[in-house]
Amino acid sequence: MADKKKKNAAEQPEEAVNQLQEIEKKLEETEKKLADTKADFLRLMAEFDTFRRRSAEEKLALVGSASADTIKGLLPILDDCEIALDALEKSEDTQAAKEGTRMIFDKLMAFLKGKGLERIEAKGEDFDTELHEAVTTFPAPSEDLKGKVIDVVQTGYTLGGKVLRYAKVVVGA
């Protein structure tokens, strides 16, 4: 039994050294994993920063091209305005002026409708706070016009189904 105790006593420092080496090995592995994780995190942050910057640049480019597209679409209407102004200066025919102005207005509305603009029809409709802004009330000429739009002070518009500008209206009371 004494030999067994001597053997165990001799193995204990060796076992402790083995455990220490094992712990040091695990510590090195953990430190390596931590370094790898930190490198991955830094790389991911750099990629995200690049993505954010690129997205911002693309957004600016998109807005710029949309503006250019809109202006290009309005150029023929601008040309028509110049022709109408020139014709008004040279002519005294009010009917021609009216027709020219109507043509320009119709062309402008057709272009804007193509971009999603819709006019809010208000006159004679029930007053709706989602579409109309009452600037005043006026005594209704007849009972059936109470709570309805009697007159439109400023036309309202929607763009893509969302109100761009509320119609300013006079409501019958």
- What are the pLDDT digits (tens) for 140-153? 777 777 878 888 88
Q: What is the pLDDT of residue 11?
A: 62
Contact call for residues 104 and 80 (beta carbons, < 8 A): yes
The number of folded domains in the chain is 1
Global pTM value: 0.52
| Residue 93 placed within a domain | no
Q: How many CB atoms lie within 10 A of CB 94?
A: 9
Contact call for residues 103 and 69 (beta carbons, < 8 A): no
| Residue 35 placed within a domain | no
Burial, 27: exposed, middle or buried (Cβ in 10 Å; 0-12, 13-18, 19+)?
exposed
| CATH at residue 142 | 2.30.22.10
In the numeric block, the tokens 């009216």 are attached to: 98
Torsion angle of alpha carbons 81, 93, 95, 74, nearest 10°?
0
Strands 149-154 and 167-172, bridge-based pairing: antiparallel
- What are the pLDDT digits (tens) for 82-102? 777 777 777 777 777 777 788
Q: What is the pLDDT of residue 28?
A: 94
| Residue 169 placed within a domain | yes
| Residue 159 placed within a domain | yes
Segment-wise mean pLDDT, segments of 10 residues, the chain, 173 residues: 53 82 94 94 93 89 71 73 74 74 83 82 84 84 80 83 84 83
Q: What is the pLDDT of residue 22?
A: 92
> Range of 159's domain?
118-173
